[in-house]
Amino acid sequence: MAEPESPEELEQLVGYRFSEPQLLLEALTHSSYAQEAPGHLHDNEQLEFLGDAVLNFLVSVRLAESFPEYQEGKLSLARARLVGAEHLATVAVRLDLGRYLRLGRGEEKTGGRSNCGLLVNALEALLAAIYRDGGLEPCREFVERFVLPPDLAACAEELISPNYKSALQEYLHAELLPPPRYRVIEEEGPEHRKIFVMEVTVAERGAAHGRGGTKKAAEQQAARSMLELLGRKAEVHG
């Protein structure tokens, strides 16, 4: 089994020093590694379970504090975006978490270090390890620093809008079609109030366009237009 990078580097990156380093090692241990290693090692599955609950709680508290005017539906939609696999995978990649995973030979050979599912699980396990080691406050700091956007209020509309990109992706996958391709085709307005025009193309199904104040918002609108073009407007969720 290939040895991962030193977990001490990860401690420096996240800004938290473990008093019980074994908790960090457990958070980074995939079941494939635990099965192949000599002796009895704990994998990160139980920590992942706990981390998911801690993450949902902390994000829920922050959203309720930040948006007291929102009803449950909008808060639930925003939380789903922030704790969803797509967003958490980007967080894990930004932390380069794959470098620190302890993987068995099979997972190593099949690209486990870049597997989104493994990365998300390890991220949640890492949060649980921090909770077990230091309590809720360092977990809150971790979530604020790495999971939540720097300006939560500015992202409000994006967080509560329907997730047209996911709906489009799921439809194309079900139809055995290749994933959509997005590209910026135009930028309008001054730097501090820029509007992006995004184009999305789907093989043999044409192109659609969307506009927004961020690239992500423009992608969502482009995906919405493509869904309408495909006659799938009703199949949109959060």
Query: Which residues form the catalytic set?
Result: 52, 124
How many Cβ atoms sit within 10 Å of the Cβ of residue 112?
Answer: 19
Name the β-bridge partners of 202: 206
Q: Which residue has the tokens 């730097």?
A: 191
Q: 3-state class of 180 per DSSP? A: coil
Q: 3-state class of 1 per DSSP? A: coil
- Smallest Cα–Cα separation from 177: which of 200, 161, 197? 200
For residues 171 and 230, the answer to whether their CB atoms sit within 8 Å is yes
